[in-house]
Structures are given as structure tokens and as C-alpha cells.
Amino acid sequence: MSGHPADAAPATEWSPVRRLAGLTLASGPVPPHTRFRGHEHEGVHLCCVTRGAFIEAESGGSVHVAAGTVRLSSSARHDLDFAPDGAGCVVLHLDAGAAAALGALPSRPRFLTDDWLRGLIAQLGSAAGRGGRGGDLELDGIVTELLAQVSRRQGRPASGGPPSWLRLAREMVLDADPAACSLAEVACAVGVHRVHLARAFRDHYGEPIGRLGRRVRLQRALRLLDEGLPLARVAAEAGYADQSHLTRDVTRRFGVPPARLRRSEVTPVQDAAAAAPQIRTG
């Protein structure tokens, strides 16, 4: 592919690096016709292509990596040529614990794509572009599911997305009052045993169903706090038993109680220049 050489995407166009459980995340655009030579990421990482495409040179030829693809690899150097319209990427660098959960990695990069992964990557790209406390909570859920699905495909290459009854169970938790939607009630509604539901949910989505309910409740609380509602009303409408439960949940997550959180501003820990992928050219 023809193009001009470039060491990296413009740093100012990449979002600030975000620290999530077990990993760091950086996202942004790569300009049209960008060429990386000796491109390197250290450690286990996933590159999720949200738009556009690139061609990766390998010893056995080249691979066309299109939007909706997850590229899974340990430390490696490679050459990349990006499409005429460039690309959008979300790069996840995994800590040792998160990397171990994926199982044994192949000796060469692995490229994963199917309908379910394409949907997840689209969600990931949208969420990565949104900042704030609510955005980080949303990213937590999407990344957790993505890692669970990648792990499934590591051990079971033919594995697809969650079955319809499990998707329905998740929708129930997302749409219902978390305080009034128990595991037993959801299991009964979708017609499976609660133990089977709990195991299948964690296998496909990477987290216990109860954790999803707690995150939904906290996301609702953050929206209501932004609207300026009294704390007691925030607790009630978000699904907390009382205001003290809201205070404990918010403080555990953000380090400050709800009243202080409402008055505070979100300040990025790192500037945009730190968000660009670390590129080494040979």
C-alpha cells in the first residue's frame, strides 16, 4: 500500500489514557495512509479496530484487519499500513492478572471477529469517546464482556455470543429496578435454574449478574446526582435501600461521598499526549 511514513497518530487526537480494572485503555484515530515500521506494544494487549482497516505484514504474508476485529498479541514488533480513510482503534494493555485470565496465548497474533464481537467493538468505540465518571462505568462493563468473549474464543474457537435467554436475562437487569430484580426472579422469567444462570452469565459476560445490577444502580445514581436531586430521592429512584447505602457505594467507587462528588469536576490524570500508543521504529 502506498503512503507516507508516520511514527504515530497525532497525540493530541487521542483520548487520555484511562485506567480500568486490570488494564489501561487508549483510543483515537490513525490518519489515512499511515505506515508503522517496527511498531511495538509491550506486554499482552488487544487492538480493537472501531472503523477503517489496516494491513499487517507477517512472515507468511499479510493480514487485512477490518473494523470489528480484535487483534490479540503479546509483545511483538510488526509493520502496519493503514487504509486510505485511516482507522479508529481502542488499545487495551492488560496487567498480568487480566492477561492470565485469557489463557495461553498463541505464538503469533490472533485476529478475532464475528457478529457479536463487532457489536461489542462498536459499543467500545462509542463509550471510549465519552468521558466522565459514568463513561468509565460503562467502559468497565463493555471491557469485562469483551475480555470474557475473547477468553471463550481462546478455548473454544467456534464459540459465539450469548444465547437468546441469557441476553434476555441481561436486558431484564438493565431495564428493571436493581433492588427488585433478584437472581431467582430473573432465572424464573427466562426458564432456567438460577445456578445455571449465574454460571452462564459469568462465562459470557465476565462478571456476576449481581455486579451488573450494582453497576446499573450506580450509573442511575450518577445521572440523578447530575440533575441536582436531593440525595434521599437519588437513593430511592436509583434503587438503593436508603441514602446510607448510596453514600457507601459512591464513596467506595470514587473515594468521596455523593455531595462532594456532585460538586467536583472530572480532572484527567494524564494529558492527551500520554494517550498515544508508544511506538518504536526500527
Alpha carbon distance 29, 54 (integer Å): 12
Across 12-21, 127-136, 206-215, 260-269, the highest mean pLDDT is recorded for 206-215
Question: Residue 3, Cα to own-chain centre: how many angstroms?
Answer: 31
Q: Is the pLDDT of residue 12 over 60?
A: no
Other Cβ atoms within 10 Å of 58 Cβ, number: 11
Q: Is the dihedral of CA 46, 52, 56, 61 positive or negative?
A: positive
Query: What pLDDT, on the 0 to 100 scale, is given for residue 158?
Result: 60
Q: Is the pLDDT of residue 30 over 90?
A: yes
Convert the pLDDT of each residue in 62-91 to its tens digit.
Answer: 899 999 999 999 887 788 999 899 999 999
Alpha carbon distance 155, 269 (integer Å): 36
Which grid coordinates are listed for 83? Answer: 487504509
CATH numbers and ranges of domains, the chain: 4-154 (2.60.120.280), 164-263 (1.10.10.60)
Alpha carbon distance 160, 6 (integer Å): 37
Query: What pLDDT, on the 0 to 100 scale, is given for residue 159?
Result: 67
Kindly report the pTM of this predicted structure: 0.79
Query: What pLDDT, on the 0 to 100 scale, is given for residue 161?
Result: 84
Convert the pLDDT of each residue in 155-170 to its tens digit.
Answer: 666 667 899 999 999 9
Q: Is the pLDDT of residue 8 over 90?
A: no
Query: What pLDDT, on the 0 to 100 scale, is given for residue 108?
Result: 86
Q: Is the pLDDT of residue 13 over 60?
A: yes
What Rg do the C-alpha atoms of the chain give, in angstroms?
20
